[in-house]
Amino acid sequence: MTEQLMDKPCKEFLAELASNAPTPGGGGAAALAGAIAAALTSMVANLTVGKKKYLAVEAQIRPILMSAEILRTRMEALVSADAAVFEGFMHAYKMPHTTEHEQSLRDKAIEVAAYDAAEVPLKIAESCMEVLEIASQIVLIGNKSAITDATVAAFLARAALRSACYNVQSNLLLIKDKEYVTKTEGYMLKLNHQALECEEKVVYETDIAMG
């Protein structure tokens, strides 16, 4: 992949997403949604920093802004990483499988690719949880005129997290290591539970602020 997906114009990226090309796909879309969530969180932070009305919380806002920018950059990289691991899958599936030995090698290659293809969306989900957490913080202390932007960031982050977890699950079906599968499924269950609780708090605080 000579050109990073996030280097493409938005319209071109969406056209590729809509096409019958295998990448970008759902994982890349989830990472992009997470990047947008992080960007929105940064926006609200930038609309808060330097305002006299919010000087009391500026020391709390600046670390949130830094975290949001780090997460945005990470999520952008994960858009392309997701496409790259899918290409590894395609390479494995194209391996010859005429003989029993070839079939065995192909099966192993597919399983190795499945591990990689599970780990990338898992990183997307973890990053989305981080975005959701800082978005929920800024809903509480950020510029009230932009509170719904922080709320949208939280909603996008949770949706992206859930989407990424389904991508992980689809790859776990190809992995024979039951211990790894069970551990990963348990971790995703925990992530989803945390995300739901966090989103519910965001909804509660937003509804109060909107009166």
The string of pLDDT tens digits covering residues 14-67 is 899 999 988 888 999 999 999 999 999 999 999 999 999 999 999 999 999 999
Alpha-carbon distance of 171 to 176, in angstroms, equals: 11
Compute the average pLDDT of residues 91-111: 87
Alpha-carbon distance of 117 to 199, in angstroms, equals: 27
102 has a pLDDT exceeding 70: yes
What Rg, from alpha-carbon coordinates, does the chain have? 20
Alpha-carbon distance of 108 to 7, in angstroms, equals: 34
User: What is the pLDDT confidence band of residue 1, given thresholds at 50, 70 and 90?
Assistant: very low
37 near 119, Cβ under 8 Å? no
211 has a pLDDT exceeding 80: no
**For position 90, what pLDDT does the model report?**
82
Assign 5 to helix, strand or coil. helix
**For position 101, what pLDDT does the model report?**
87
153 near 37, Cβ under 8 Å? yes
Packing angle of the helix pair 178-210, 147-172 (nearest 10 deg)? 160
Is residue 150, in this structure, part of any structural domain at all?
A: yes
User: What is the pLDDT confidence band of residue 76, given thresholds at 50, 70 and 90?
Assistant: very high
Is residue 20, in this structure, part of any structural domain at all?
A: no
152-186 pLDDT per residue, tens:
999 999 999 999 999 999 999 999 999 999 999 99
Is residue 43, in this structure, part of any structural domain at all?
A: yes
130 has a pLDDT exceeding 80: yes
Is residue 139, in this structure, part of any structural domain at all?
A: yes
154 near 198, Cβ under 8 Å? yes
Please give the residue range of the domain that contains residue 58. Answer: 25-210
Is residue 18, in this structure, part of any structural domain at all?
A: no
CATH classification of the domain holding 34? 1.20.120.680
pTM of the model: 0.91
Is residue 84, in this structure, part of any structural domain at all?
A: yes
User: What is the pLDDT confidence band of residue 143, given thresholds at 50, 70 and 90?
Assistant: very high
Is residue 94, in this structure, part of any structural domain at all?
A: yes
Alpha-carbon distance of 83 to 85, in angstroms, equals: 6
The owner of tokens 């930038």 is 46
DSSP single-letter state for residue 7: G
User: Could you tell me which residues come within 8 angstroms of residue 47 by beta carbon, excluding any fewer than 6 positions away?
Assistant: 142, 143, 145, 146
Domain tally for the chain?
A: 1
135 near 157, Cβ under 8 Å? yes
Is residue 132, in this structure, part of any structural domain at all?
A: yes
